[in-house]
Amino acid sequence: MQVQKENTIGEVVASNFKTAQVFEKYGLDFCCGGKKTISDACAKNGVDTDKLINELLKLNNNGNGKSNDYASWEPDFLVDYIINNHHSYVVKTLPVIYAHSRKVAGAHGENHPEVIKIAEYFSMIKDELEAHLMKEEKMLFPYIKKLAEIKKKNLDVQYPPFGSVKEPIRVMEAEHENAGTLMSEINTLSRGYNPPEDACTTFRVLYQELKEFEDDLHVHIHLENNILHPKAIELENILNKNLSI
């Protein structure tokens, strides 16, 4: 796509995921903040809009190497990808990082009080994401896959108890925003995941794990907020329109 100031960050990253690195370079949120236009995001964060767009255009023009074209994927395939890659990663890593954060807080909290707060915030993330993933896998995702099946097989539309896919999407995106905010606080408290000189091995491993977790969460939320959710809403609208004809 031809990047312009009026494009949202989410649109740009959805069209070429490699552009995420440019937005991250300038501290612009491409997942939870993906609905902001480039112009508004740059103004809010004091970023030179023209300089940013030039870098995005250069990346689009000179990009090489294989990158997943998530935006072209069918919503049911995208659901499976998110579960198999991002949900499984979260389920596997939450208890590990939680245990390390508690251990570091107990051993180093007196000299580095920030790790106590980090452990507290990550405990909140753990509790919220465990419930969040369950809601997605038990309610939202099955309905999205059902919509895809209805379209492919020309089946009768079956309305869910929540009325429209927009309602659970609204809730999920609010929870995404909260998780992203908590991880941003952890990032700040850890000075960008840079451990102090006296940090032990577990301390250093914890910061590496947190950095990896945040990176994965950014991609995870981007795929849902900026690609899957719009596809699901569009699909539901198409089916409803066909039903009314």
One DSSP character per residue, 64-78 reads -S----GGGS-HHHH
CA–CA separation, 140 and 164 (whole Å):
10
Structure confidence by residue, pLDDT tens digits, 160-213 = 777 889 999 999 999 999 999 999 999 999 999 999 999 999 999 999 999 999
pLDDT at 244 over 70: no
User: What are the extents of the domains in the chain?
Assistant: 9-62, 73-244
* CB of 101 closer than 8 Å to CB of 115: yes
> What is the value of pTM for the model shown?
0.83
pLDDT at 158 over 90: no
